[in-house]
Amino acid sequence: MRVIRCYTALPKSTEAQVIGRQLLRSGTSVGAHYREAQSSRSNAEFISKIEGGLQELEEAMYWMELLIGAGIVKEQLLEALRDEANEIMAILVTCTKKVKHQGLLNRP
Residue 58: give its domain's CATH number.
1.20.1440.60
Residue 107 in domain? no
Host domain of residue 62: 2-102
| Dihedral sign computed on CA atoms, order 102, 26, 85, 57 | positive
pLDDT tens-place string over residues 20-79: 999 999 999 999 999 999 999 998 999 999 999 999 999 999 999 999 999 999 999 999
- Decide if 53 contacts 33 (C-beta within 8 A): yes
Provide the angle, in degrees to the nearest 10, between the axes of the packed helices 43-69 and 14-38.
Answer: 160
Residue type at 58 in one-letter notation: E
Residue from 44, 42, 33, 41 nearest 92 by CA: 33
How far does the chain reach from its first CA to its final CA, in angstroms?
A: 34
The number of distinct structural domains making up the chain is: 1
* DSSP code, position 72: S
pLDDT, residue 103, reads: 63
Residue 108 in domain? no
pTM for this one? 0.88
What whole-number distance in Å separates Cα of residue 92 and Cα of residue 29? 14
